[in-house]
Structure 1
Amino acid sequence: MKRVYLLLFLYLFIPAAGFAAELAQFKGKVLDAANQAPLAGATIYITDLKAITTTNAQGEFVLKNIPAKGRFLLEARFVGYKTYAAVIDLGSQKELTISLSPSIIESAEVVITGSPFSSNNKTNSLSVVSVGKNKLAQSGGTNLVDAIARIPGVSQVSTGGAISKPVIRGLGYNRVLTMVDGAREEAQQWGDEHGIEVDQFSAARIEILKGPASLLYGSDALGGVINVIDDLVPAPGVRNGEFTSAYSTNNGLSASSLMLQGNENGFVYRGRASYKNAYGFGYKGATVPNSGFNELNFNGMLGLNKSWGYSHLTFSRFHTNIGLVENGPDDHGNYLNEDGEVISADEAKERRLGLPFQNINHYRAALNSNFILGKGQLKTVFAFQQNIRKEFEESIQEPGLNLDLKSYTYDIKYYFPNLGKWEPAFGVQGMYQDNVNHGDEFLIPDYNSNNIGAFVYLKRNFDKGAINIGARYDYKKVDGKDLNFNGEEVFGGFSNEFSNVSGSLGFAYEIAKNLVLKGNAGSGFRAPNIAELGANGRHEGTFRYEIGNSKLKQETSVQFDLGLEYNAESVTFGLNAYANRIFNYIYPGNFNDETIPFDNNGSIETLPVYRYVQTNADLVGGEASVDFHLVKSLHFENSFSYTRGVNRATDTALPFIPAASINNEIRIEPNIKGLADSYIKVGLTNTFKQARFDSFETQTNGYTLLDAGLGTSIKTARGKLNLWVTGQNLLNKEYYNHLSRYKIANIYNPGRNVTFGISVPFL
């Protein structure tokens, strides 16, 4: 397998410079639509070519090293103006004059997750939300998922401030796929306390696809996709860098990142180093001992942007240590050590982690290319990942649990020459995995798996919308190894095969000016993960003993999604409703109060036993958002989301369903001389009581959180220097989120937190 990837690298990356393609440039001008004045500093993108440039003082731009033929989506952006997005034909069009209209709000980001072809929201049938770099930074989130968890339809399974797992419309874990550098992330994501192994600072934009995406991504995209997208490289001849740093008061989180990138006539490069360190998070009157963490991350990119397309090699090392909390407070709200003594506030705020803790190293290398073949495109992604996950319980030298997962993935798509308004494509994707236990404690068996899938996709564009249709076939095989340890059987061997045919049909149509109706019907597929099939043990940091079931069947789903979007000058709103039926839905449950004795460092604990079972399930719900922009500098943004999960066998609630919520935010953007992008915001998060819960869960009361923030930018010769302050839970409310894993131990979610941030450009 390693030889195969080496050959692919040599074939695709090094000889790429020799691809024969006619060299071309595309010129244009960006003007103010109201007075035809040139707009200097506007940004021009062709995302499918990784091409970017900016306008000069006369509003002129030149895109260099691009193909002479082909149809591509071009974007033009300028702060305070409506974003321009249109398909251009490089074979017949060499220049373009763009008139941008002043606007209180900018139109939605171009969507590249929900469709093989880059498109704007008016021609995309799926529900996709995009969050830019500035909003990610200003959210005050302690990790990547925390930063997007207030988007309607998105929530998180949290373990304090260190670990968050995305949940989309009530579905999480292996039902939500995370894409990084164009490749799916594989990092033992089945675990409760296994977060996303991605440098938070490396995300220039995150696109969230809500709903089944199995057609384009295969198994594990049953509930949706989180697509982490890095920045486009600068224009040819440009080098720049950025230093970002932030400090949070709740857990003393200090987070900094240094980035340098450049483009030397089509040879592009980027390097980044980031560091985080935090002590235990706190709530009113308490600090949770050993809930701190630290991270040291490195990532880089080398590539070519030429007339034949682009080829980028990205590589990264994500390293983190995370403290694990085993016990909640006593009846008086105090945390005790092993000797029964109260842990003081100073001791709880020590940055040195104690036992138990996780040590995680995640290595990733991905070769992402797009070759222009005539008027067609061949996009390929080949990736290797290694996730080394160690848990130290009794000794800081020898881990108990020690998992070593290697994953090899490939994704090959061909986009046929655009036939007028028809856009056909097909693709082949696959993955091989091998997992080995190196420790003397076990939760999942050694295993290997192999899966492959193929799809066809067709999109038909109209003047006021588009329709799309597609079909896909998947096959996956999982072989679990047997294990006997100290004369006892820990795991029994098994070999399972899964296959499925899925499809989708969708449309988007502008039924009136600025009013777009969207609909989508799709089927999804997910093979059981290794924990569901073969778990047998307690994972450190959890409060249960898990037992898998090798007889589980695959999950399949049918979902219907209907949406209405309106984008006008002063008012925007969106409505989405969905119904999702999942057959053979897999979930863990504690049945008949089953428990098991467990040896924890010489003392015997009684843990609840959770077994994986299946049922048919329904998830229905919706999201709504209304934003008022009646005055240029004033924004009033509101959103609502609701999900209802039903176990069809018992007509009871599904477990781990997030509570309904309403978010309100008033944002003022004053025009201050000498400053740019200034804002002041105040927001309320209203989370309702979750009174629908499974038999082994408990009710979670509702709560309201007050947030606020302010920020500004200072123009410098090298770019904008950004400053911001974000306050969360400013009233220091004690509350439990229904999806908090610490709720069962009576540990509240984090209390008041204020984050101070700065981003400084250089070069």
Structure 2
Amino acid sequence: MMKKFLFFALSVIATFNSYGQTDSKHTGRILDDKKGAPIAGITIKVPDLKLELVSDQNGGFIIPPKYKGQHLVEFSGVGYQTRSLKIDLSSHDVLSIPLSPSNLTLDEVIVTSAAISSSSKKNSTSIAVVGKQQLLEPATNAIEGLARLVPGVAAITTGSSIAKPVIRGLSSNRVVTISNGVKQQGNQWGDEHGIEIDQYGADRVEVLRGAASLMYGSDALGGVINFLEPLVPQSGEVKGEVLSNYSTNGGLSASSAMLTGNQNGFVWRGRGTYKNAYSFKTPTGYFPNSGFNETNFSAMFGLNKSWGYSHVNASFFRNNIGFYEPAFDSQGNYIDAAGNRFTDRDFKNRSLEFPKQDIRHTKLSWNNQLILDQGSLKFDLGYQNNQRREHDNPVPNLFLDLHTLTLDAKYTVNEFQGWHPAFGVSAEHAKNSNKGAEFLLPDYQSFGVGAFGYLKKTWDNTTVNAGVRYDYRVNDGDGYVKDGETFEKYKNHFSNVSFATGLTHQVSPYINLKANLGNAFRSPNPAELSSNGVHEGTFRYEIGNTALKPEKSYQADISIDYDRGIFNGSISLYSNLIKDYIYISSRPGDETADGMAIYRYGQVDAQLHGFEGDFNITLFRYLTFNNIFSYTYAKNKTLDRPLPFIPAGQFKNSLKYSPEIKGLSASYLKVGIDNFFAQRRVDREFETSVSGYTLLNASLGTTFKIRGLNIQTYIAGNNLLDKKYYDALSRLRPGRLDHHDLSLGVYNPGRNVTFGLITSF
């Protein structure tokens, strides 16, 4: 299948390459709007063309005139306000682009996760954009990094190696993750494994908060996390990057290298990443066998021509993670299977012991955008193979082998008199096989198809959009008896109509108002429909329900953005009613013969309300005060109690000093205080309440040049006071012994200092 996929993609790319090019030039110049001086080193991005340029010493840049039509172009650089403009590349006029000095991270960037790419100020959806430099900030995985940076985003964690995204209180199959234009599919219903994406592979990440079924179909109730690949350099250039960092907690060492180039429109890129860590340490000691190692390889090749682009991406991700089911001696010390205490040598052993998990994910995608006379056609084909192995010995007990094929196509009509329509279709087929001795769910296959229409209308200060989508899905599970466990055969058909409408209005030059109203849906996943067995890592016996109906979500949100000189900020309010929310629970006395609690899937109605936001102030020329905050209130309306795994309210503050030092650039010193409030609203079926806590963080860094190499160094410390705390979303925090849950009671990681070096050319 993989060979056929590559052969087909290469054949079409070769056909595309027959189109000719011209050698003339299109020139622009970037100026400081205060001083009038040219600005060097400004990054110019044209997302629709997958093109990235950098202004020269005279502030000049060249967009080859082979590119035609109107396109959104983004201009960004350290110390300047990001600006996006729609530019007619058919014109031969010399462009003059003024940029305003600013130390703040502002929001006027191009976002591509919506139905039509646009400036964030013209997009009604709440989208946060996290750039590459922010992604390099210390974190053990990409989701943990986003949870630190984006209001409204959190992570369900299992130690330091596993993180599942949470957006506005919703997680797992209620959040869609996109990588290289393809929806990530990897049995993501499980809390005990993370997202199979290279932390260092993306150029930036767009986080869409709120319902997104219009574009992405089932599962996008909470939002979308879109990892965007780096744009290609201009023709004749080769760029590279080597990064390495070391963290004191767990001895995490990470290294990654990337090389990319563009030769007359033939573009390519390769990256390799390796991470390795031993057991993490809490303020009270190490947690045994909690280390991990991760290996990633990715490659891209393709064409960037006057007709658009065509790229083939291939990646392989492997993560080995150690697990430990706590056992204690009479003094309360952790002991191994033989009854021996763990030693310091055991804790720092980078070789994982059993039990452990082995996750492998292979992905191929073919990404295309064709620039046509009356619009543009974007289509993405994807193939994924996710293999999930769980071991108590060298032979995997549980082995799920999932193959997924996806197609997404979207045609966008050129804007005329403020009207901008788009139409799209998508299809997906998945097949999962059991290859281990243990079964949690039967073999299954699923099929889904959807289509949408979308229309945007823009006036001078107001943009209105609306869209509708139809989806049809089939889930088909095999029925058989395995080791005395019966798996009921099922075949379910689901269909849904989703709608969305939004408004953006610029009230004044400084105030922007956004509002959205719509619905979304999620079809039941195979685990919810057909589980019948012990779900390792969750310490419970799960039984599915083949009669489950799709979840239906009805959402509304409103946000206000303010941006004036030394101050900018935003606040969003949202409400989400979910009918037939799929919910797992257990009744006292419902247990297996060996005393393990049985949890059964059912449905309730749920309500989530909340707010999130940020505000940033420039106190002096080089000093900025940054803050993000969020809170979610979630209720199980049917049973009149809180929903489980809802993040605690949080308020994070940081003070950043960015001086100008001769011979250095992008220098900074940052001190941060993260405040997490107590979470008393917990579902007593699963959770105990947690107290509030405050963490102290600090970092410093700078960039310098040696013989044409840009070298960035940094030191970052998290939880510097070695605070003992339980995060509300940690799966290792205390459970309920009276309900047969294993009471782990493992604190979150303690003090951690990371030393990093990044070299680019």
Q: Which residue in the other structure is 1:220 paired with?
A: 219
- The 10-residue stretch of structure 1 (346-355 or 210-219) with the greater mean CA deviation from structure 2: 346-355
Q: Which residue in the other structure is 1:563 paired with?
A: 559
In the alignment, residue 507 of structure 2 is paired with which amino acid?
I
**Does residue 622 of structure 1 match 2:618?**
no
Cα distance in 1 for partners of 2:45, 2:224 equals: 24
Equivalent positions of 1:427-442 (< 5 A) are 427-442=424-439
| Aligned partner of 2:462 among 465, 474, 478 | 465
Q: Which residue in the other structure is 2:696 paired with?
A: 706
Cα distance in 1 for partners of 2:400, 2:384 equals: 13
Cα 1:457–1:20 change in 2 (3 A) is farther
Q: Which residue in the other structure is 2:716 paired with?
A: 726
What CA deviation, in whole Å up to 9, does each residue of 1:699-742 have, x standing for no partner?
11111111111111113443421111111111111111111111
User: Contact 2:476–2:490 (CA<8 Å) still a contact in 1?
Assistant: yes
Q: Which residue in the other structure is 1:541 paired with?
A: 537
1:11 Cα deviation after fit: 5.8
1:256 Cα deviation after fit: 0.2
1:203 Cα deviation after fit: 1.7
Cα distance in 2 for partners of 1:462, 1:215 equals: 23
| Aligned partner of 1:498 among 494, 500, 508 | 494
Q: Which residue in the other structure is 1:342 paired with?
A: 341
Cα distance in 1 for partners of 2:751, 2:26 equals: 51
Cα distance in 2 for partners of 1:101, 1:489 equals: 66
Q: Which residue in the other structure is 1:550 paired with?
A: 546
Equivalent positions of 1:581-592 (< 5 A) are 581-592=577-588
Cα distance in 1 for partners of 2:651, 2:243 equals: 31
User: Contact 1:458–1:470 (CA<8 Å) still a contact in 2?
Assistant: yes
Q: Which residue in the other structure is 1:602 paired with?
A: none
In the alignment, residue 166 of structure 1 is paired with which amino acid?
P
Equivalent positions of 1:378-527 (< 5 A) are 378-393=377-392, 395-396=393-394, 398-486=395-483, 488-527=484-523
1:249 Cα deviation after fit: 0.6
Cα distance in 1 for partners of 2:454, 2:564 equals: 32
User: Contact 2:485–2:533 (CA<8 Å) still a contact in 1?
Assistant: no
| Matched residues, number | 750
1:549 Cα deviation after fit: 0.9
**Does residue 154 of structure 1 match 2:150?**
no
Cα 1:106–1:654 change in 2 (3 A) is closer
1:23 Cα deviation after fit: 7.8
Q: Which residue in the other structure is 2:642 paired with?
A: 653
Cα distance in 2 for partners of 1:647, 1:520 equals: 24
SS of match in other structure, 1:334: coil
| Aligned partner of 1:676 among 650, 665, 668 | 665
In the alignment, residue 184 of structure 1 is paired with which amino acid?
K
Cα distance in 1 for partners of 2:19, 2:106 equals: 37
SS of match in other structure, 2:200: helix
- The 10-residue stretch of structure 1 (712-721 or 653-662) with the greater mean CA deviation from structure 2: 712-721
What CA deviation, in whole Å up to 9, does each residue of 1:240-281 have, x standing for no partner?
211100101110000000111111111110000110000111
Cα distance in 2 for partners of 1:513, 1:331 equals: 68
Cα distance in 2 for partners of 1:24, 1:213 equals: 42
Cα distance in 2 for partners of 1:323, 1:2 equals: 31
Q: Which residue in the other structure is 1:607 paired with?
A: 596
User: Contact 1:356–1:540 (CA<8 Å) still a contact in 2?
Assistant: no
Q: Which residue in the other structure is 2:235 paired with?
A: 236
- The 10-residue stretch of structure 1 (104-113 or 548-557) with the greater mean CA deviation from structure 2: 104-113
User: Contact 1:125–1:518 (CA<8 Å) still a contact in 2?
Assistant: yes
Q: What root-mean-square deviation, in Å, do the aligned CA atoms of Structure 1 and Structure 2 show?
A: 1.8
SS of match in other structure, 2:303: strand
**Does residue 52 of structure 1 match 2:52?**
yes
- The 10-residue stretch of structure 1 (242-251 or 117-126) with the greater mean CA deviation from structure 2: 117-126
Cα distance in 2 for partners of 1:427, 1:563 equals: 28
Cα distance in 1 for partners of 2:328, 2:420 equals: 59
User: Contact 1:23–1:67 (CA<8 Å) still a contact in 2?
Assistant: no
Q: Which residue in the other structure is 2:288 paired with?
A: 289
> For structure 2, which runs of at least 5 residues remain unmatched after alignment?
736-743
What CA deviation, in whole Å up to 9, does each residue of 1:431-458 have, x standing for no partner?
1000000111011210000001100111
In the alignment, residue 472 of structure 1 is paired with which amino acid?
R
Cα distance in 2 for partners of 1:404, 1:83 equals: 44
**Does residue 686 of structure 1 match 2:675?**
yes
User: Contact 1:51–1:63 (CA<8 Å) still a contact in 2?
Assistant: no
1:96 Cα deviation after fit: 1.3
Equivalent positions of 1:57-136 (< 5 A) are 57-64=57-64, 66-68=66-68, 70-92=69-91, 94-108=93-107, 110-136=109-135
Cα distance in 2 for partners of 1:224, 1:547 equals: 28
**Identity score, percent:** 45
1:236 Cα deviation after fit: 0.7
Q: Which residue in the other structure is 1:601 paired with?
A: none
Q: Which residue in the other structure is 1:38 paired with?
A: 38
Cα distance in 1 for partners of 2:600, 2:371 equals: 50
Cα 1:25–1:545 change in 2 (3 A) is farther
Cα distance in 2 for partners of 1:126, 1:93 equals: 34
User: Contact 2:176–2:224 (CA<8 Å) still a contact in 1?
Assistant: yes
In the alignment, residue 142 of structure 2 is paired with which amino acid?
L
Cα distance in 2 for partners of 1:329, 1:540 equals: 20
Cα distance in 2 for partners of 1:655, 1:329 equals: 28
In the alignment, residue 581 of structure 1 is paired with which amino acid?
L
Q: Which residue in the other structure is 1:171 paired with?
A: 170
Cα 1:21–1:431 change in 2 (3 A) is farther
What CA deviation, in whole Å up to 9, does each residue of 1:618-659 have, x standing for no partner?
000001322111212111112221101111112211111111
1:668 Cα deviation after fit: 1.1
Q: Which residue in the other structure is 2:729 paired with?
A: 739
SS of match in other structure, 1:115: coil
User: Contact 1:52–1:63 (CA<8 Å) still a contact in 2?
Assistant: no
User: Contact 2:604–2:639 (CA<8 Å) still a contact in 1?
Assistant: no
Q: Which residue in the other structure is 2:143 paired with?
A: 145
TM-score, normalisation: structure 1: 0.95
1:10 Cα deviation after fit: 5.2
In the alignment, residue 710 of structure 2 is paired with which amino acid?
K
Cα 1:593–1:144 change in 2 (3 A) is farther
1:84 Cα deviation after fit: 2.3
- The 10-residue stretch of structure 1 (696-705 or 402-411) with the greater mean CA deviation from structure 2: 696-705
Cα 1:3–1:751 change in 2 (3 A) is closer
Q: Which residue in the other structure is 1:322 paired with?
A: 321
> For structure 1, which runs of at least 5 residues remain unmatched after alignment?
599-605
Cα 1:24–1:167 change in 2 (3 A) is farther
SS of match in other structure, 1:512: coil
Cα distance in 2 for partners of 1:259, 1:153 equals: 31
Cα distance in 1 for partners of 2:189, 2:177 equals: 13
In the alignment, residue 713 of structure 2 is paired with which amino acid?
L
What CA deviation, in whole Å up to 9, does each residue of 1:475-533 have, x standing for no partner?
110000112224x3431110011110001000111101221000000111110111111
User: Contact 2:576–2:608 (CA<8 Å) still a contact in 1?
Assistant: yes
Cα distance in 1 for partners of 2:309, 2:751 equals: 46
